[in-house]
Amino acid sequence: MNNNNLKLQLQKIIDCKTKPLGALGRIETLALQLGMIQGTTSPQICEPQILVFAADHGLTKHGTSAYPSAVTTQMVYNFLQGGAAINVLARQHGIELKVVDAGVDSDIGADINAYPQLLDYKVRYGSRDALVETAMTENECLTAIKNGMKVIEGLAGNLLIVGEMGIGNTSAASLLLARLGDLAIDDCIGRGTGLDDAGLTHKCHVLTQVLERHHDAKTPFSALTALGGLEIATMVGAFIQAASERRILLIDGFIASSALLVADRLAAGVAQYAIFAHHSVEPGHVHLLNLLNAEPLLDMGLRLGEGSGAALAYPLVQSACAIINEMAIFSDAGISGQEK
């Protein structure tokens, strides 16, 4: 069945449900999108997965974050011990959670036997200082992308929530947005983990210098290599592989959206598999959503990351599947439909 015919069939099924046309609003468009992603009139969610990608950023030595890089490692252990917001939400919804070490600046891999949910795909101990060199070499960036693809291969289920942890990663995401969106860096940055006004001004100054240094990094891959982070590059690979397997991508906030933008620029069509969970208060997120032609499901003032916003939106995806599969149609229920 071609896409046009499938879309017509899905819309007909939704319109024939026992309700006025369009009465379920965004749930109806979400149900249609799920059917299009899976190529079926009966979309299903099977064994959803949460992957939290973690890495450190060399640029943080210039004071671009309110927190020290050591917090990345500390938060990874919090994930592994089940104490973070995303752990709470994963347990609430019965979703399996794994943590991917893409480039944390510590030897957490030594504890992999104690934490079977930890996946060791470390490329190096944090990205390089993008103010003096590229954040990654081309080989490191390519390895990270390939690692992301490997993580997805053989992963159970058909719905993926990707979260992240990396002190300094709002800077990397802002740099990628500015370069790939052809935007001023002032429009792309926010307070991240809580910078004050002076800190925000300093962050803007540093990131402006980074963009000037890497002014030739204009393609998606060169921009990712020069400006990105190891967890973002690994997420890019994960999105590309997941889309190739027709998985539902439930996209979190600013960092995840920046990775999706790169993935879609590298492999056109990846964004077709994405459902955008929420509108982050990070200022650059609205520009990412516009570039990706996306309308998020929630707007709740979130800016935590970790995949938390996507986990909060997950029940809406469940509801959309249930509506299209279980709700009666007028003829079966013996109810008169709308007059033509």
Q: What pLDDT, in 10s, does the model give residues 248-294?
A: 999 999 999 999 999 999 999 999 999 999 999 999 999 999 999 99
pLDDT band at residue 333 under the 50/70/90 scheme: low
Q: What is the mean pLDDT of residues 83-112?
A: 96
Higher pLDDT, 171 or 340: 171
Q: What pLDDT, in 10s, does the model give residues 185-209?
A: 999 998 876 788 888 889 999 999 9
Higher pLDDT, 111 or 15: 15
Average pLDDT, the chain: 95
User: Which two tokens mark 326?
Assistant: 């279980």
Q: What is the mean pLDDT of residues 308-332?
A: 95
Global pTM value? 0.96
What percent of the chain is predicted at pLDDT more than 70?
A: 98
pLDDT at 66: 85
Higher pLDDT, 111 or 75: 75
In contact, 321 and 31? CB cutoff 8 Å = yes
User: Which two tokens mark 98?
Assistant: 């794994």
pLDDT at 337: 64
pLDDT band at residue 48 under the 50/70/90 scheme: very high
Q: Which of 140, 306, 326, 339 is catalytic?
A: 306
Q: Which of 63-67, 160-164, 231-235, 240-244 has the lowest mean pLDDT?
A: 63-67
pLDDT at 339: 57
Dihedral angle of Cα 244, 245, 246, 251, to the nearest 10 degrees:
-80
- DSSP letters for 208-259: HHHHHHTTT--SHHHHHHHH--HHHHHHHHHHHHHHHTT-EEEE-SHHHHHH
- DSSP letters for 178-216: HHHTT--GGGT---TTT--HHHHHHHHHHHHHHHHHTTT
Decide if 306 is catalytic.
yes
Residue 321 has pLDDT above 80, yes or no: yes
> In what order do the strands lie in the sheet containing 96-103?
118-120, 96-103, 49-55, 159-165, 248-251, 274-276
pLDDT at 296: 98
Alpha helices, DSSP H, located in the chain = 3-15, 26-38, 70-80, 85-93, 138-152, 169-180, 197-213, 220-227, 230-244, 254-266, 285-291, 308-326, 330-333
Q: Which of 78-92, 147-161, 320-334 has the lowest mean pLDDT?
A: 320-334
pLDDT at 7: 96
Half-sphere exposure of 63 (CA within 13 A, CB side): 9
Dihedral angle of Cα 224, 211, 209, 289, to the nearest 10 degrees:
-80
Q: What is the mean pLDDT of residues 158-171?
A: 97
In contact, 55 and 103? CB cutoff 8 Å = yes
Residue 239 has pLDDT above 80, yes or no: yes
Nearest Cα to Cα of residue 308 among 50, 12, 126: 50
pLDDT at 197: 86
Q: Which of 14-18, 64-68, 72-76, 303-307 has the lowest mean pLDDT?
A: 64-68
